[in-house]
A and B are shown apart, each in its own frame.
Chain A
Amino acid sequence: MVSCAGRLPGKEKARLVRDAAGVGLAVGAYGLSYGALAVAGGLTVAQTQFLSLVLYGGSAQLALVGTLAAGGGGLAASATAALLGVRGLFYGVSLRPVLGLRRAALLPAAHLLSDESAAMAIARRTPPERRAAYWVTGSVVFLCWNLATLAGALSGSLLADPEALGFDTASSAAFLALVAPRLRERDGRLVFAAAAVVATAVAPFAGSGLPVLAAGLTVLGLALLPPAEAGGAKRRTIPTRHGGAA
């Protein structure tokens, strides 16, 4: 894993670590609020932290805690978390050709899979950059997330109102920053707009998790569109093996 980063120029490596630290800080703010909300919602500190270490999925964990706090019970809370976890399946499918994993790296790679590591890897241009971005971001974010959720759980009631500090918007802004490079291409813009509209339209009728999954299905619409090159948007042709992924 470290050897992947080793093949990059120093400047690129430094940028990667700096970006990862930025993502880690944003995730930390999110993690603080999750930890506080989890304990307030009825989980023990050990349970809160077990989810961070093993389930390790910010939105799945928050959805679990949210469902629990809303009186949903254990089954509903776990089902919601698993539903948000389906996202991991899609990320895995899109990352497999990008990462070129060996068998031994498969289990840790699956564990470090998150919105952030997937987005950082896919935003990069070349395969070595993508691999390095995945492992660096994945490790930094895992560490920051776990430290922050522990701090949040321990401080619990101290951080009574994470929303007063705008933590919810911080995570949306972080997601937007992660997806921004893809919005410079036609496919990315179309999918982004369609998915946002679908998620918002579905949300009033379906519980947490489902709107995001419905948004994921909008990519199937791309199969109906001709590739961007034919549409005249060839400002920048990137010679990657996996055409649309860059």
Chain B
Amino acid sequence: MSWSWILLAAAACYLLKLAGLLVPARVLGRPSVARVTGAVPVALLAGLIATQTFVSDQRLLLDARVAGLAVAALALWRRAPFLVVVVAAAATTAGLRHLGVGA
């Protein structure tokens, strides 16, 4: 891959972050606007989780990833520490794949 595409992608991503931080404060002062923008990370993370868990090569697929995420959800509900949540989820998926279940 040529360096020019890499530079372009890097510049685009950095400028997008910077642009977000530069939006004038008065636009965001209204509670209605703050309520919506404050929920944006929740929506984006939900989208990432859903696509990483249920989608594979643009196809819906239920496999070992779903079991791993379910274990993570259970651990979070039981208020387990962050690391336990992540390791338990990865271990579940890895274990199932190793056994050839939902691989």
Contact = CB atoms under 8 A, between A and B. Distances in A.
Contacts of A222: 35-36, 39
Most buried by A among B22, B42, B64, B90: B42
Contacts of B17: 85, 88-89, 91-92, 110-111, 113
Contacts of B35: 187, 222-223, 227, 243-245
Interface residues of A, number: 106
Contacts of B32: 223
A199 B51 contact: yes
Contact of A200 (B31, B55, B91): B55
Nearest to A171: B52
* Chain B at the A interface: SS class: helix
Contacts of B38: 94, 122, 242-246
A78 B9 contact: yes
A133 interface: no
B72 to A, nearest CB: 4
Interface of B: 1-6, 8-10, 12-14, 16-23, 25, 28-29, 31-32, 34-55, 58-60, 64-65, 68-69, 71-73, 76, 81-83, 85-95, 97-98
Interface of A: 19, 22-23, 25-26, 29, 42-43, 47, 50-51, 54-57, 59-60, 64, 68, 74-75, 77-78, 81-82, 84-97, 99, 101, 106-107, 109-111, 113, 115, 118-119, 122, 163-180, 182, 187-188, 191-200, 203-208, 211-220, 222-223, 227, 242-246
